[in-house]
């Protein structure tokens, strides 16, 4: 199989062409093999105030692309301090709940059931902008020991596992950034850093931006950063590391094999997500990579280990479809075609027949508990699936119902039947005394938080004591379910399903 570098470069150039608007942020994309860079593509501005062009040397936040770097270090030099089979409580004795029984491996392979910390905080009224510290967050996690689901029963993306494994190393005096410098940056002569807060000074860091419908705005976030998404660097230096992975040499020796080794669920099925590395299929070709999304930043890379080829992209703008872009480029490089985008599912809102779940089918996407994925036509007639290992979906109709799997767990949804009684029964004030949080529902409006900083959501009934809330949290729209059971109100997002208010 001949690699079609020119064809892939043409696709990459077509993608970055969409970033060439006047006075707009941008990004860069690189195609490379284990030895050299085959083509580079840059567009837009790294800094709107300074009018600095975006280049391969523009420093950005890698966001969740950080995970494969941390996993490489935690399972490499970090093995002298902890093992994938260790329980988190073995290293963090304050985790006395179910979360302490999660293994290090499960914490890194997205099968842990650990509620995502950022999503949980949003459900008790904290905005994306609220600043927090690592010590306070660890205490919060220790006090909230419940899990979203039984470990190993499904795959659902969460950042909390990476935070906790980092805290386990930190408890032994081992810092992520120190490991990064010693075992990756110094051997490769590259500059990557792992700041702990958004407010730490990072030399050369390009601001991140999001579009509010009329203008570009500076992005920021208050959550203490962790090994789930803290690393900053340039695409040029990231590429050198990825080439070390492809060449299986230097600090990259053995890393791809270790991180991409199959991880199994409790029933023995392979999940598709390794340790900080997700698998993707283009026909019969298997690729490995990871993406990242911070407020104002996007990133993604895909590697084909057998052909020693890859693509990576970074951007300082919120509106880029990174995974699809990388897949398109790699499909062109491998002379393969992606599945047909689309599905035969009836559009509309659906609810879980037994569980506190909701599903929306609209356009070419499915949104489950607030997380959206593009749908592609499956192998079987009528099947629709995602191409994601972090939110794997396979859905089809069974009469008016939609059945299949999400996160490798079986699901069944029926059309929502809105009623006035569900919303009416939720009217009034609800409290979460442990965290001094309160929300109020008046009519079709939910208000949570203090004064002018309150989060406001509009509500619509899904029927059966279930209501869908839609709010804006900084650059992101947030949609979550409220389920009432007597005097308890449960708030549910795909990454956090443990928050409960009472009358």
The full set of domain ranges for the chain reads: 5-66+197-220+228-333, 70-170, 348-415, 420-502
Given pLDDT bands bounded at 50, 70 and 90, which one contains residue 326? very high
Are the C-beta atoms of residues 315 and 60 closer than 8 Å to each other?
Answer: yes
Fold adopted by 70-170: Methane Monooxygenase Hydroxylase; Chain G, domain 1 (1.20.58)
Average pLDDT over every residue of 304-320: 97
pLDDT at 350: 98
Given pLDDT bands bounded at 50, 70 and 90, which one contains residue 382? confident
| Three-class SS of 329-352 | HHHHHCCCCCCCECCCCCCEEEEE
Given pLDDT bands bounded at 50, 70 and 90, which one contains residue 307? very high
Whole-number average pLDDT of the chain:
96
Distances (CA, A) of 8 to 11, 312, 341: 5, 12, 20
Given pLDDT bands bounded at 50, 70 and 90, which one contains residue 77? very high
Strands of the sheet with 358-362, listed across from one edge: 371-374, 365-368, 358-362, 348-352, 409-415, 401-406, 393-398, 384-385, 376-377
Average pLDDT over every residue of 443-453: 94
pLDDT at 157: 96
What contacts 50, CB < 8 A, 6 or more positions away? none
Least confident of 49-53, 126-130, 185-189: 126-130
Q: What's the predicted TM-score (pTM) here? A: 0.96
Given pLDDT bands bounded at 50, 70 and 90, which one contains residue 381? confident
- Whether the pLDDT of residue 474 is over 80: the answer is yes
Are the C-beta atoms of residues 30 and 40 closer than 8 Å to each other?
Answer: yes
Given pLDDT bands bounded at 50, 70 and 90, which one contains residue 355? confident
Strand partners, 61: 232
Q: Is 256 helix (H, G, I), strand (E, B) or coil?
A: helix
What contacts 181, CB < 8 A, 6 or more positions away? none
| H/E segment holding residue 153 | none
Where would I find the beta strands (DSSP E) of 62-215? 209-211
Average pLDDT over every residue of 444-460: 95
pLDDT at 1: 73
Average pLDDT over every residue of 404-420: 96
In words, the CATH class of domain 420-502 is mainly beta
What contacts 136, CB < 8 A, 6 or more positions away? none
CATH superfamily for domain 5-66+197-220+228-333? DD-peptidase/beta-lactamase superfamily (3.40.710.10)
Side-chain-side CA neighbours of residue 247 (13 Å) = 14
Given pLDDT bands bounded at 50, 70 and 90, which one contains residue 337? very high
Considering all CA atoms of the chain, what is the largest pairwise distance in Å, rounded to the nearest integer? 65
What does the radius of gyration of the chain's CA atoms come to, in whole angstroms?
22
Given pLDDT bands bounded at 50, 70 and 90, which one contains residue 61? very high
């Amino acid at each position: 199989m001949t690699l079609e570098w020119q064809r892939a470069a043409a696709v990459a150039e077509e993608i970055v062409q969409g970033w060439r608007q006047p006075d707009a942020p941008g990004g860069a994309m690189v195609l490379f093999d284990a030895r050299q860079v085959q083509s580079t593509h840059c567009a837009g501005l790294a800094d709107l105030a300074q009018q600095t062009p975006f280049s391969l040397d523009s420093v950005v936040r890698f966001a969740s692309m950080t995970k494969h770097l941390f996993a490489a270090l935690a399972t490499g030099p970090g093995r002298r301090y902890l093992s994938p089979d260790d329980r988190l409580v073995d290293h963090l004795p304050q985790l006395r709940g179910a979360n302490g029984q999660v293994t290090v491996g499960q914490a890194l392979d997205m099968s842990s059931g650990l509620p995502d910390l950022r999503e949980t905080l949003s459900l008790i009224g904290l905005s994306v902008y609220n600043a927090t510290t690592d010590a306070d967050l660890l205490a919060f996690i220790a006090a909230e020991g419940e899990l979203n689901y039984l470990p190993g029963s499904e795959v659902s993306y969460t950042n909390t596992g990476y935070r906790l494994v980092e805290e386990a190393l930190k408890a032994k005096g081992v810092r992520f950034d120190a490991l990064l410098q010693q075992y990756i940056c110094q051997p490769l002569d590259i500059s990557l850093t792992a700041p702990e807060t958004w407010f730490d000074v990072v030399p050369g860091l390009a601001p991140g931006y999001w579009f509010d419908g009329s203008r570009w705005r500076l992005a920021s976030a208050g959550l203490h950063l962790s090994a789930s998404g803290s690393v900053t660097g340039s695409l040029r230096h990231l590429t050198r590391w990825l080439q070390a992975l492809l060449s299986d040499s230097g600090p990259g020796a053995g890393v791809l094999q270790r991180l991409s080794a199959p991880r199994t669920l409790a029933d023995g099925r392979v999940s598709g997500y390794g340790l900080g590395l997700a698998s993707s299929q283009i026909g019969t070709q298997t690729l490995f990579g990871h993406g990242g999304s911070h407020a104002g930043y996007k990133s993604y890379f895909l590697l084909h280990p057998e052909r020693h080829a890859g693509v990576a992209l970074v951007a300082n703008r919120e509106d880029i479809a990174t995974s699809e872009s990388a897949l398109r480029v790699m499909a062109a490089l491998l002379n393969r075609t992606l599945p047909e985008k689309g599905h035969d599912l009836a559009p509309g809102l659906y609810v879980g027949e037994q569980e506190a779940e909701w599903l929306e089918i609209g356009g070419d996407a499915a949104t489950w508990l607030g997380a959206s994925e593009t749908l592609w036509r499956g192998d079987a007639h009528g099947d629709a699936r995602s191409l994601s290992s972090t939110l794997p979906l396979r859905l089809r109709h069974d009469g008016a119902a939609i059945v299949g799997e999400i996160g490798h767990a079986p699901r069944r949804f029926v059309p929502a039947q809105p009623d006035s009684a569900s919303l009416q029964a939720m009217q009034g004030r609800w409290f979460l005394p442990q965290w001094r949080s309160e929300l109020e529902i008046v009519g079709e409006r939910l208000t949570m938080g203090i004064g002018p900083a309150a989060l406001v959501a509009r509500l619509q009934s899904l029927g059966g004591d279930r209501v869908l809330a839609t709010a804006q949290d900084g650059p992101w729209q947030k949609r979550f379910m409220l389920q009432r059971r007597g005097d308890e109100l449960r708030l549910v997002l795909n990454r956090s399903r443990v928050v409960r208010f009472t009358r």
